């Protein structure tokens, strides 16, 4: 049997970053990734289901009301992220839930995280967008904020010399958006780490003080490897699934594994602006449209991110006018509405905010991921708060807020977190503040599953910095 | 765009840049000042034609398509819709999880139609078809995803460019950074932070 110092499941931010740090320290590292090794030629400018199925794993909640998805392939979500890499504000780390429980460990504050944020920013060459890189939709949004005396800030991205084609979330076909395949992964490989793609991990077993990882390789052949240490970083849905499938071999698995699923407080909506305002041309430019407003953070703990989106995404949303009430967008009225408004008068936006993680990931009898994300009174109140902020912006500009979701609710679909969260409380948090799964020696969680709550902004930089922090702890432990 | 089509695009790369440059003056002459940066070869339809509805299930699905995004037979403006955009190909694509439910879905739609209007779905007028599809969502919320897929296939040009042309979107492209209208290219708002990082 092959043996390694560390086996890592997943090659996104949570997997590739520890892979590099451990390999730099001379550890023998194996990373198992279920997706393919992709190149820019594998990223089609195509939003069709057929094309997206290769790049994303998509999950529908048990009640069919919520869709979550994340990137698949060597580099995980970094391949298809919109690439907004923003530091989580200080208040994120101080957040207390409805039981007054501080979800982040007391020892993990913004000032503790700052050196790790900086490390990722340097490695991934993250820089602030120039105003010339802000697409029209972002510029219009900033003008709307300006008109009401509010601020909007240019975002931070690992994007250089952007073509502004509008397909970031299909993977960048021009190679201008930096993902892990441009930095951490090749650096780790140079230091000797092995990355094996198209390997699907089924479960893990204890093996003395180490671990056995059982997976099927690219040929569908069952394999097993040993790791003295193990990192599970397969994403906030698949990480708990690996652990829950392993329960027959881990009878003492922490009971909170899979609970506290948080969608980062994402709520999608659109603005329809009046004809007197400059046209939006929402198909032009990077999908995260260059600016963010922090203007509502102090009062509402919400940030808002305008998007540049192609019609396939905009028209696919279950969008409705507030004055009409929720309805299913069907027929020629909707078709004409999209034609008359899309190119000049519409742009999408995503609100991100702090909510309690009240969802749960489970596995069915076949070991397949299932999840729920309940639309309870707290979530309804949060969505109403988001809508109130959106309405405030719209009304100040003679624009209209378009809601999404119909009788369901349109969560943003890309930011699941918290299902194996770190924390101080043994009974509430499956992982210690330093990422070790309680009761399971030398088993660490380093991906979005470990991030204990919403990040107030796009979570990728926080996931990455937390992975850097845990990797440093593992190495310091010796 | 599939892999083969993408490679076709890449093989014509230098020609594409040339065509894009040649189109610049034409773009500026357009009434709204924003033209199509994409050379024509980026928009070649996929090989193969639209699937023609043959079975009863397929005919019901085609009627559903023509209700979600109506075509010239239904839209009073006479513009093309989901059927003309080959969206039946999407529903019957083996990689799309809807296929295994196609018979079940069509049967349920017809049952609601018969129960509420006394006729199968394809025999109903437009407004009654809308009512049936809305009622169907109440029974099976998952159908929202099928409707989304139909809209997305049309407006996203999954099989041809009919929907893209309809909405005025060029589709796959070489980027807009050189288009004057792409950005205001100046600060249009005060910023809260000096370096883009919230404290």
Domain boundaries, chain B: 3-39+174-182, 56-166
SS3 A250: coil
Chain B partners of A133 at a C-beta cutoff of 8 Å? Answer: 183
Residue-level pLDDT at A132: 97
In this structure, what DSSP letter does residue B42 have? G
> How far apart, in whole angstroms, are the C-alpha atoms of residue B17 and residue A478?
54
> How far apart, in whole angstroms, are the C-alpha atoms of residue A253 and residue A441?
12
User: B152: pLDDT confidence band, cut at 50, 70 and 90?
Assistant: confident
Cβ atoms of B67 and A330 within 8 Å: the answer is yes
**Contact yes or no for B172 and A45 at CB 8 A:** yes
**Contact yes or no for B184 and A342 at CB 8 A:** no
In this structure, what DSSP letter does residue B93 have? -
Mutation site for A-interface testing, chosen from B109, B141, B151 by largest number of A Cβ within 10 Å: B151
- Å between A135 CA and nearest CA of chain B: 5
Residue written as token pair 């990192």: A231
Chain B partners of A338 at a C-beta cutoff of 8 Å? Answer: 155, 167
pLDDT at B17 over 80: no
Partner residue opposite A343 with nearest CB, options B167, B193, B196? B167
**Contact yes or no for A151 and B189 at CB 8 A:** yes
- Å between A29 CA and nearest CA of chain B: 33
Residue written as token pair 């430019």: A285
Partner residue opposite A408 with nearest CB, options B90, B93, B141? B141
What average pLDDT does this structure show over B94-117?
88
**Contact yes or no for A330 and B157 at CB 8 A:** no
- Number of neighbouring beta carbons within 10 Å of residue A336: 16
Residue-level pLDDT at B40: 37
Q: What are the beta bridge partners of residue A3?
A: A226
> How far apart, in whole angstroms, are the C-alpha atoms of residue A280 and residue A341?
10
pLDDT at B21 over 60: no
**Contact yes or no for B77 and A332 at CB 8 A:** yes
Query: CA-CA distances (angstroms) from residue A273 to A197, A276, A311, B182?
Result: 46, 8, 17, 17
- Å between B30 CA and nearest CA of chain A: 15
Residue-level pLDDT at B161: 84
> How far apart, in whole angstroms, are the C-alpha atoms of residue A406 and residue B145?
12
- Å between A473 CA and nearest CA of chain B: 25
Q: Which two tokens stand for residue B25?
A: 């003056």
Residue-level pLDDT at A252: 96
Instruction: List for chain B the helix, strand, coil content (%; round to 5).
Output: 55, 0, 45
The CATH classification of domain A1-44+54-84+115-123+172-262+416-478, taken from the options 3.30.70.420, 3.20.20.140, 3.40.50.2300, 3.50.50.60: 3.50.50.60
Burial of B140: CB neighbours in 10 Å, binned 0-12, 13-18, 19+:
middle
> How far apart, in whole angstroms, are the C-alpha atoms of residue B161 and residue B145?
22
> How far apart, in whole angstroms, are the C-alpha atoms of residue A107 and residue A86?
21
Domain ranges of chain A: 1-44+54-84+115-123+172-262+416-478
Chain B partners of A155 at a C-beta cutoff of 8 Å? Answer: 196
pLDDT at B149 over 90: no
Residue-level pLDDT at B8: 31
User: B185: pLDDT confidence band, cut at 50, 70 and 90?
Assistant: very high
Q: What are the beta bridge partners of residue A307?
A: A288
Residues of chain A with pLDDT under 70: 406-413
Cβ atoms of A113 and B161 within 8 Å: the answer is no
Residue-level pLDDT at A70: 78
Mutation site for A-interface testing, chosen from B183, B185, B192 by largest number of A Cβ within 10 Å: B183
- Å between A145 CA and nearest CA of chain B: 7
- Torsions phi, psi of B174, nearest 5? -95, 10
Give me the helix-helix angle, B102-117 and B126-139, nearest 10°.
120
Q: Does residue B77 or residue A411 have the better pLDDT? A: B77
Residue-level pLDDT at B48: 62
Cβ atoms of A148 and A290 within 8 Å: the answer is no
- Å between B148 CA and nearest CA of chain A: 5
Is A295 at the interface with chain B, CB within 8 A?
Answer: yes
Residue-level pLDDT at A154: 98
- Å between B54 CA and nearest CA of chain A: 23
Is A62 at the interface with chain B, CB within 8 A?
Answer: no
**Contact yes or no for B144 and A328 at CB 8 A:** yes
Q: Give the nearest chain B residue to A65 (CA atoms).
A: B141
Chain B partners of A329 at a C-beta cutoff of 8 Å? Answer: 147, 151
> How far apart, in whole angstroms, are the C-alpha atoms of residue A477 and residue A468?
14
Chain B partners of A87 at a C-beta cutoff of 8 Å? Answer: 197-198
Is A160 at the interface with chain B, CB within 8 A?
Answer: no
How many cross-chain Cβ pairs, A to B, lie less than 8 Å apart?
Answer: 242
Q: Element (H or E) spanning B66, and its range? A: helix B56-68
Cβ atoms of B38 and B76 within 8 Å: the answer is no
SS3 A32: strand
List, for residues B40-64, the tens digit of each pLDDT value: 334 444 556 788 999 999 999 999 9
Give the angle A25-A30-A35 at the CA atoms, nearest 5°: 130
Is A131 at the interface with chain B, CB within 8 A?
Answer: yes
Chain B partners of A51 at a C-beta cutoff of 8 Å? Answer: 1-2
Going by C-alpha positions, the residue among A120, A1, A24, A2 that lies closest to residue A469 is A120
| Lowest-confidence pick of A55-64, B23-32, B140-149 | B23-32
Cβ atoms of B83 and B68 within 8 Å: the answer is no
Chain A partners of B149 at a C-beta cutoff of 8 Å? Answer: 49, 316
User: B14: pLDDT confidence band, cut at 50, 70 and 90?
Assistant: very low
Residue-level pLDDT at B44: 46
Cβ atoms of A104 and A478 within 8 Å: the answer is no
Is A308 at the interface with chain B, CB within 8 A?
Answer: no
């Amino acid at each position: 049997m092959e043996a390694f110092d560390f086996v890592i499941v997943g090659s996104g931010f949570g997997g590739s970053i520890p892979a590099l740090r451990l390999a730099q320290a001379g550890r023998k590292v194996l990373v198992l990734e279920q997706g393919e090794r992709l190149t820019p030629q594998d990223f089609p400018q195509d939003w069709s289901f057929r094309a997206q199925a290769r790049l994303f794993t998509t999950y529908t909640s048990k009640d069919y009301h919520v869709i979550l998805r994340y990137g698949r392939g060597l580099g995980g979500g970094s391949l298809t992220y919109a690439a907004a890499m923003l530091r989580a504000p200080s208040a994120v780390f101080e957040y207390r839930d409805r039981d007054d429980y501080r979800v982040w460990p007391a020892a993990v504050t913004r000032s503790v995280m700052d050196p790790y944020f900086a490390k990722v920013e340097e490695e991934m060459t993250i820089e602030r967008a120039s105003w010339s890189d802000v697409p029209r939709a972002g510029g219009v949004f900033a003008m709307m904020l300006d008109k009401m005396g509010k601020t909007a800030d240019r975002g931070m991205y690992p994007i250089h010399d952007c073509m502004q084609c509008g397909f970031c979330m299909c993977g960048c076909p021009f190679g201008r958006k930096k993902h892990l395949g441009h930095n951490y992964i090749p650096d780790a490989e140079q230091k000797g780490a092995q990355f094996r793609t198209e390997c699907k991990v089924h479960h893990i077993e204890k093996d003395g003080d180490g671990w056995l990882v059982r997976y099927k390789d690219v040929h569908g052949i069952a394999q097993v490897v040993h790791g003295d240490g193990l990192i599970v970083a397969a994403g906030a849905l698949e990480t708990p699934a690996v652990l829950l499938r392993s329960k027959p071999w881990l009878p003492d698995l922490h009971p909170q594994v899979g609970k506290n699923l948080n969608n980062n407080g994402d709520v999608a909506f659109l603005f329809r602006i009046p004809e007197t305002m400059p046209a939006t041309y929402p198909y032009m430019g990077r999908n995260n449209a260059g600016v963010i407003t922090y203007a509502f953070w102090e009062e509402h703990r919400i940030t808002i991110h305008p998007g540049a989106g192609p019609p396939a995404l905009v028209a696919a949303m279950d969008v409705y006018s507030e004055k009409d009430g929720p309805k299913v967008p069907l027929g020629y009225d909707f078709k004409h509405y999209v034609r008359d408004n899309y190119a000049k008068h519409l742009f999408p936006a995503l609100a991100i905010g702090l909510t309690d993680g009240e969802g749960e990931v489970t596995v069915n009898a076949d070991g397949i991921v299932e999840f729920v994300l309940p639309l309870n009174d707290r979530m309804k109140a949060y969505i109403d708060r988001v809508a109130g902020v959106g309405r405030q912006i719209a009304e100040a500009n003679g624009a209209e807020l378009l809601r999404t979701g119909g009788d369901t609710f349109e969560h943003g679909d890309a930011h699941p977190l918290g299902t194996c969260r770190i924390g101080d409380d043994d009974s509430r948090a499956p992982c210690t503040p330093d990422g070790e799964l309680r009761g399971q020696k030398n088993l660490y969680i380093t991906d979005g599953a470990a991030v204990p709550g919403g990040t107030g902004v796009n979570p990728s930089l926080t996931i990455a910095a937390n992975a850097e922090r845990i990797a440093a702890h593992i190495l310091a432990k010796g | 765009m599939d892999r083969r089509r993408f490679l076709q695009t890449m093989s014509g790369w230098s020609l594409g840049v040339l065509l894009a440059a040649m189109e610049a003056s034409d773009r500026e002459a357009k009434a709204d000042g924003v033209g199509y940066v994409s050379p024509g070869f980026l928009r070649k339809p996929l090989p193969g034609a639209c699937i023609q509805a043959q079975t009863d299930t397929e005919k019901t699905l085609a009627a559903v398509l023509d209700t979600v995004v109506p075509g010239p037979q239904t839209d009073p403006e006479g513009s093309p819709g989901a059927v003309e955009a080959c969206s039946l190909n999407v529903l019957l694509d083996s990689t799309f999880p809807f296929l295994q439910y196609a018979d079940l879905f069509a049967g349920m739609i017809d049952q609601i139609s018969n129960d509420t209007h006394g006729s199968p779905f394809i025999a109903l007028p437009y407004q009654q078809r809308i009512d049936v599809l809305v009622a169907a969502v109440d029974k099976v919320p998952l159908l929202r995803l099928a409707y989304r897929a139909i809209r997305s296939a049309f407006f996203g040009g999954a099989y041809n460019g009919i929907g893209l042309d309809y909405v005025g979107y060029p589709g796959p492209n070489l980027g807009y950074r050189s288009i004057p209208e792409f950005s205001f290219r100046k600060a249009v708002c005060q910023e809260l932070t000096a370096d883009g990082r919230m404290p």
